[in-house]
Amino acid sequence: MRREKVERYLDYIFAQKLSNDAFVEQIVAELIERSKLRTDKADILKVQRTIERLEEEKKRILNAYYEAHINRSELNRQIEQVKVEQKFCNQKLAAFQPQKQEIPAGELARDFSSTPRMDILVAN
């Protein structure tokens, strides 16, 4: 008996809250804010440091070529390897950027209110 009362009360609360545009807007704003914070800053810094390290490595390779420690084919091979790693890091860095997904609150409220008159179900 108590479970039925609680279920009816919960149904009523959900029907009221999920069909309320202001409530849905608040939830959407919170989700957007959380998605911005989801990206781990330590991972971003790690990738940025790797990119900086690759730039330094590229300079060292060029210096080795200028000082005749490596030949042109070795220079090209090593530079190409660094470029591949840089491209990978840049792609990884771009993946950290949050995807924007904006859904109007009214549309969410309409979708969440499964029936237009959910309060009728609660009254019974």
Q: Are residues 34 and 74 in the same domain?
A: no
Q: Are residues 13 and 50 in the same domain?
A: no
pLDDT at position 4: 83
Residue keyed to tokens 């959380």: 34
Q: Which two tokens stand for residue 115?
A: 């029936």
Q: Are residues 46 and 67 in the same domain?
A: yes
Cα 39 to chain centroid distance, Å, stands at 6
Count of domains forming the chain: 2
Q: Are residues 88 and 48 in the same domain?
A: yes
* Residue 105: other Cβ atoms inside 10 A: 17
Q: Are residues 72 and 57 in the same domain?
A: yes
* Rounded Cα gap, residues 27 and 35, in angstroms: 12
Q: Are residues 45 and 91 in the same domain?
A: yes
pLDDT at position 109: 66
User: What domain range is 55 assigned to?
Assistant: 40-97
pLDDT at position 65: 93
Q: Are residues 44 and 89 in the same domain?
A: yes
Q: Is the dihedral of CA 46, 50, 56, 60 positive or negative?
A: positive
Q: Are residues 55 and 82 in the same domain?
A: yes
pLDDT at position 87: 94
Q: Are residues 64 and 15 in the same domain?
A: no
Q: Are residues 63 and 85 in the same domain?
A: yes
Each residue's pLDDT expressed in tens, for the chain with a length of 124 residues: 588 888 888 888 877 777 777 877 888 888 777 766 555 677 888 899 999 999 999 999 999 999 999 999 999 999 999 999 999 999 988 887 655 566 666 666 666 665 555 555 555 4
Q: Are residues 33 and 63 in the same domain?
A: no
Record the pTM: 0.49
pLDDT at position 111: 67
Q: Are residues 60 and 18 in the same domain?
A: no
